[in-house]
A = this chain, B = another copy of it.
Amino acid sequence: MTIRVSVQTTIFSMDAELPRLMQGGQEAGGVGAFLGVVRGGAGLRALTLEHYPGMTESMIGRIAAEAQTRFGLSGCTIIHRVGRLTVGEPIVLVLCLAAHRAAALDATAFVMDWLKTRAPFWKREEFEDGRTAWVEAREADDIAASRWARDGRPG
């Protein structure tokens, strides 16, 4: 099992991450992945992502470990960028290596839902007219995360 967690300002490469992830073992049949990008529209120019150094890495590490246990992953990579990111730029990459595709893709959804609700990141929007605003948490994200909490744990 290889777990890799990184919070960074720099861009990442999916191709570069794969060999490291795949050290997780020959028994793996597939990688589920999600790449989040800055969604444009409504005059948005960029996002600035702030985080809580230390707590972020520890929460993401726990989310990865939980996904590994729950879905039997052979590897999990979670990279989250911080700083200023313009529309279209990648924000987050999740890679989950598993024996079969269902586990790999379910684990990816699980990690994303928990990242949205349990990892201490905050986004500030910057619009073309110069206005800025902190993004408010979406109730939909809490609902998405709660579907995994069948064991009654809040997170």
Contact = CB atoms under 8 A, between A and B. Distances in A.
Interface residues of chain A: helix, strand, loop or mixed (majority): mixed
Interface of A: 13-15, 18, 22, 26-37, 39-41, 87-88, 99, 101-102, 104-105, 108-109, 112, 144
Copies in the assembly, this chain: 2
A37 B27 contact: no
Contacts of A88: 22, 26
B26 A40 contact: yes
A7 to B, nearest CB: 19
A73 to B, nearest CB: 14
Contact of A26 (B30, B36, B41, B108): B41
A113 to B, nearest CB: 8
Contacts of A31: 33-35, 37
A41 B109 CA distance: 27
A129 to B, nearest CB: 17
A41 B22 contact: no
